[in-house]
Amino acid sequence: MPLESTEALVVGSYIFNEQDKIVHLLTSSNGIQKIVAPGSSKGKNRFGSLLELFTEGEFFFYRKEDRELATLSKGDVITSYFETVSEPGRIFYFYLIAEIVMKFVPPNFNSERIYKLIKAVLNSSRDGVEMKYLILYFMVWILRIEGMMFEAGRCYKCNSQHNLKVWVMSDFRGVVCEKCKNGESLLLEKTGIEFLEWTKRNTASEIFETLSSKEYKIVFLILKSKIEHHGEFNMNSARYLVDMN
């Protein structure tokens, strides 16, 4: 059985039996891949920090003809983000990112842009950028990469632009201006519109920091609702975010 290998980010794992875990790996060119990590659920995990959430590593594995899942043989850590990800003020943001990625990225999918997006968030967080802004940046861009992000300043119905406030449509296809609104309740005002447009031109390390607490929560709610609507799931990790409560 020849060894195969891939560079990947660990985005999740769960106990498979008394000794093993199933590990979910995000690759840049082949989507989410699941592998068995033998012995990793025991007290002494022979893979060490390689299987920590969002560790970037090179994973070596083999496949048996009678088994659906590949088996991890060994691996090397390329970049450890353990201190960044496990910090109490950040951990639930990273759980949320992993939850979204696990839902949106299928196997055998070119996920290079998502891989780079997560790396940008990890590196920016490690460099001191607040996760409350990075999570918004990630959510905007995951929607944009998936082709689901609306134009924040453009009315979906009349195509008017440069609106200072808009309302999000109930099916989240877009936003409508004051003239076209018809019962929509989620209001996005000027600063929130500016933030969403700003993300098109700037990197995660240059976070837009002029959202008030109220505006921040509204933008988060809109992005969360849109992701849940299109992904048909509830973002359970969001309940633990201090900034949202």
Helix (H, G, I), strand (E, B) or coil at 82: helix
Average pLDDT over residues 196-200: 94
**Domain spanning 4-80 has what CATH number?**
2.40.50.140
Domain residue spans in the chain?
Answer: 4-80, 92-244
pLDDT at 108 over 90: no
CATH code 1.10.3470.10 for 92-244: no
Compute the mean pLDDT over every residue in the chain, rounded to the nearest whole number: 92
Global pTM value: 0.93
User: How much is the pLDDT for 68?
Assistant: 80
Concatenate the DSSP letters of all residues of 24-73 into one string. EEEESSSBEEEEEETTTTSSS-TTGGGGSTT-EEEEEEE--TT-SSEEEE
Cβ contact 98:90 at 8 Å: no
- Least Cα distance to 21 among 66, 53, 58, 64 occurs for 53
Question: Which of residues 121 and 239 earns the better pLDDT score?
Answer: 121
User: How much is the pLDDT for 117?
Assistant: 98
**pLDDT > 90 in the chain, percent:** 82
pLDDT at 48 over 80: yes
Position 14 confidence tier, pLDDT thresholds 50, 70, 90: very high
